[in-house]
Structure 1
Amino acid sequence: MTIETERLRDRVAADMIRARERTTLLTGAVDDGDLIRQHSPLMSPLVWDLAHVGSQEELWLVRDVGGREPVRPDIDELYDAFKHTRADRPALPLLSPAEARRYVAQVRDKALDVLDAARLEGRRLTVDGFAFGMIVQHEQQHDETMLATHQLRVGSPVLTAPPPPAVSSPIAGEVFVPGGPFDMGTDTEAWALDNERPAHRVDVPAYYIDRAAVTNGHYAAFIAAGGYDDPRWWSPAGWDHRQAAGLTAPRHWQRDGDGWLATSFGRTAPIVADEPVVHVCYYEAEAFAAWAGKRLPTEAEWEKAARHDPATGRSRRYPWGDDTPESHHANLGQQHLRPAAAGAFPGGASPLGVHQLIGDVWEWTSTDFAGYPGFGPFPYREYSEVFFGPDYKVLRGGSFGTDRAAIRGTFRNWDYPIRRQIFSGFRLARDASSESAGDA
């Protein structure tokens, strides 16, 4: 074995262990009653997520890569996300919390044995440890989903984290992004998923993009100006949803005299004006943008702002360069339990001075989820392809609940435009030819 291969094994093992430590934290913070309870029809019981993580690891690493005997083939269908909707999962004969913990531990032991013996070359599934990286990302994605379930849970707080760093120089305004082509997507990122591929040249007209995401203070001004009551700002579909769902403010906000409180992981406190607004749906973001005289960025505009280096013409892995995210770059990995104020991570800014494109909040874009030119599903259609179409909007950049292994400048998330339980916010853009924005 080469030194490079052994280093890759060590990195994979470390990422797998780190993901499992987070899973253990999220599932161990509550009692068994909370694990089996469905805290929202939008979410699975936490115990389903736990066993599902193990089931996917068994299918791909133990059985496929390792060629080992199945551990629990009898539960494959129970933990197939396409067989049962989230709303139906509590009624299934799921593994108990104790059984789920034993199962995922047994699978993990076998998966690490497979890692020790696997040739990390040859098959596309194993080159550069792709299958292991896919499973690491899958577990971290479910950890973020479980974190969102904790946000919906009712009861005493069980999760703690220090506050995000303070800001010495607040960030505001917008930057000009010159028109021209850039390389979108990737052919070189070893653990990139199928919807991030292939790399392709995209010519983007000049535009302006905000240096920071829209804040709670700005969003409160939109509410105060009657933004939820004025159909001028809403698309027809958005206005229909706003009325049907009775939307009046971001999820988890509540009135406090002339101000607002927000509940976060069981703690209720006044909103922090200069932190990014979170738990807003696409339609709310779209309406705010119209009120502000701007618009949401396209996915290509977002990625160009995050990756394009005008000095070299190349596309970076991250806004700050090619280095793996560290704590001074971005608010990731549940190190803080809320978004950080604009300017809190100057080390993560892009060459053009756009801040916090990675971490804090997933940012809605105006783009429908679709494959890139030359897209090919891998290793299975259900990861991306079955979601392509106008029903889903693309979100970019990750949130404070996203792990560094599950985010990069090319990573694409998607969801229904009505969703608010996710850690979603947005920033604004405008055409270079448009007049300066007004109301906000």
Structure 2
Amino acid sequence: METRGAVSKEVLVGLLEEARERTRFLLKGISREDLLAQHDPIMSPPIWDYGHIGNYEELWLLKEAHGRELSDRELYDMYDASLHPREERPSLNLLMRDDADVYLDAVRRTVLETLEKADLDSDDPLLRSGFVYNMILQHEAQHNETLLQTFGLMRGRGYRPESLVELPKGSTPYGEMVHVPGGEFVMGTDDRAWALDNERNAHAVDVPGFLLDKTPVTNAAYAAFIEDGGYTNRELWDGAGWEYIKEENIAAPKHWYQPEPHSWWTVRFGFDEPVDPNGPVVHVSWFEADAYARWAGKRLPTEAEWEKAASWDPTTGTKRLYPWGDEAPRGGDGRANLDALAFRPAPVGAYPDGASAYGALGMVGDVWEWTASDFRAYPGFEAFPYREYSEVFFGPDFKMLRGGSWATRPWAVRNTFRNWDYPIRRQLFVGFRCAKDA
């Protein structure tokens, strides 16, 4: 079974420090007013995310792993996401930026002291193979992406990052499909160093043969759906989706607008720019993805179909950790657009070296991809280390997303990683690809 495996204490120290540097880099230049503001009712004030990153690290790397605490109960309660819904967070007595900096630094110093003495070969499942440290790295990475979602909702001039890499040009026109033959594959993983509880356990799934879009759906293809009356054709829409788009007066992806007929523009981090016809469509809800797929005579892939197309190597009968193999991605390495380096998706087909064994492109990076599946537990699921990470969300209310986006940090994504959200969500860096029965 594929696994990223344990890493040394020295590597963990480097990863923890780099993760904090990135968080602070993203917050650089954000005004005090914007740090404290709630830019959308579905998002927290950025300063809450920052304090929560430090408190979550204290909770798991000090209190739970080593029995040490720096904070009182009030601080734990304030940054407990399950105690305070987002609408309450602006009214909390949150740590301001300078105090939060001091707090996060104090937590980190103590974390590094305890890491020196930690037994990563312990029978304790939190410490074994460094699981709890890897969990914290992924948690901070997830909040980096959440912060970028929030910054994308800022009004006025907005957040204006500078691209750190030049994206390659796309080379694959949208419309091609790859064939994934029927048969069993291994879904999920038994890894306990990096994988989170909802990714386990590994289990065989028999998937009938299907066709899958070689790339995510492009802006040009989605614009054709709009121009053909996709948002006004009731027959294309799930019942709840139809009610949603009518109630919210939605007629295009979030951030799109049309200054003149057949000319689509978007607002990206405060910049107005023409929609790239070859880029993957982004900021669409599950309902919009589902309606487009129906318009195109296709459907959304199931979560099992997505994972098989991304991970299974039919030649060797083995599972890959990433579409291209088991080597972990690095930002700008030519196989995927990850790590918030470009601050936008690349044109589809821009990373041929990142192809899966079946020839599907862009399955990791650029945009998260909606699937047809609800969030369900795998056979043998056990909540770890707490129920609120996954178990309380299981059921039909949440749809599955796969693959990561341009804003996802490399260690927070893999073929087995499962993300989920409400089908109405559009602030996510999310698109989709379609499937058909073979």
State TM-score, norm by structure 2: 0.95
Q: Structure 1 residues 51, 167: CA separation in 2 closer, same or farther (over 3 Å shift)? A: same
> 1:168, CA displacement in angstroms?
5.7
Answer with 83-92 or 278-287: which moved more. Answer: 83-92
Instruction: Give 1:409's match in structure 2, choosing from 402, 415, 438.
Output: 415
Structure 1 Cα separation of the partners of residues 202 and 150 of structure 2 = 34
**1:159 equivalent in alignment to 2:161:** yes
Counterparts of 1:273-288 in structure 2 under 5 Å?
273-288=277-292
SS at 1:138's partner residue?
helix
Counterparts of 1:357-372 in structure 2 under 5 Å?
357-372=363-378
SS at 2:152's partner residue?
helix
Structure 1 match to 2:276: 272
Structure 2 Cα separation of the partners of residues 164 and 295 of structure 1 = 33
Paired AA for residue 271 in structure 1: V
Q: Structure 1 residues 168, 421: CA separation in 2 closer, same or farther (over 3 Å shift)? A: closer
> 1:6, CA displacement in angstroms?
10
Structure 2 Cα separation of the partners of residues 148 and 186 of structure 1 = 29
Structure 2 Cα separation of the partners of residues 120 and 293 of structure 1 = 52
Counterparts of 1:14-33 in structure 2 under 5 Å?
14-33=14-33
Structure 1 match to 2:358: 352
Please tell me whether the aligned partners of residues 27 and 47 of structure 1 are also in contact (alpha carbons under 8 angstroms): no
Instruction: Give 1:175's match in structure 2, choosing from 178, 181, 206.
Output: 178
Please tell me whether the aligned partners of residues 170 and 278 of structure 2 are also in contact (alpha carbons under 8 angstroms): no
Structure 1 match to 2:250: 247
Structure 2 Cα separation of the partners of residues 256 and 243 of structure 1 = 22
Paired AA for residue 344 in structure 1: A
Paired AA for residue 269 in structure 2: F
Is there any run of 5+ residues in structure 2 with no aligned partner, and where?
none
Q: Structure 1 residues 205, 141: CA separation in 2 closer, same or farther (over 3 Å shift)? A: same
**1:381 equivalent in alignment to 2:387:** yes
State TM-score, norm by structure 1: 0.95
Paired AA for residue 179 in structure 1: G
> 1:70, CA displacement in angstroms?
2.8
Q: Structure 1 residues 407, 6: CA separation in 2 closer, same or farther (over 3 Å shift)? A: closer
Deviations 1:339-369 (A, max 9, x none): 1111111111111110010010010000000
Structure 2 Cα separation of the partners of residues 119 and 155 of structure 1 = 50
Instruction: Give 1:306's match in structure 2, choosing from 281, 302, 310.
Output: 310
> 1:159, CA displacement in angstroms?
1.5
SS at 1:239's partner residue?
helix
Paired AA for residue 228 in structure 1: Y
Structure 1 match to 2:344: 338
Structure 2 match to 1:215: 218
Structure 2 match to 1:436: none
Please tell me whether the aligned partners of residues 167 and 342 of structure 2 are also in contact (alpha carbons under 8 angstroms): no
SS at 2:243's partner residue?
helix
Structure 2 Cα separation of the partners of residues 153 and 17 of structure 1 = 28
Structural RMSD (CA): 1.4
Paired AA for residue 208 in structure 2: P
Q: Name the % identity.
A: 50
Answer with 11-20 or 282-291: which moved more. Answer: 11-20
> 1:155, CA displacement in angstroms?
3.3
Structure 2 match to 1:197: 200
Is there any run of 5+ residues in structure 1 with no aligned partner, and where?
433-440
Structure 1 Cα separation of the partners of residues 164 and 49 of structure 2 = 26
> 1:169, CA displacement in angstroms?
2.4
Deviations 1:238-269 (A, max 9, x none): 11111111110000001121211101111110
SS at 2:93's partner residue?
coil
Answer with 62-71 or 143-152: which moved more. Answer: 62-71
Aligned length: 428
Paired AA for residue 339 in structure 1: P
> 1:72, CA displacement in angstroms?
4.1
Answer with 398-407 or 61-70: which moved more. Answer: 61-70
**1:184 equivalent in alignment to 2:187:** yes
Q: Structure 1 residues 7, 135: CA separation in 2 closer, same or farther (over 3 Å shift)? A: closer
Q: Structure 1 residues 276, 193: CA separation in 2 closer, same or farther (over 3 Å shift)? A: same
Deviations 1:173-210 (A, max 9, x none): 00110000000000136210000000000000000000
SS at 1:328's partner residue?
coil
Answer with 128-137 or 342-351: which moved more. Answer: 342-351
> 1:162, CA displacement in angstroms?
4.3
Answer with 15-24 or 302-311: which moved more. Answer: 15-24
**1:234 equivalent in alignment to 2:273:** no
Structure 1 Cα separation of the partners of residues 108 and 173 of structure 2 = 44
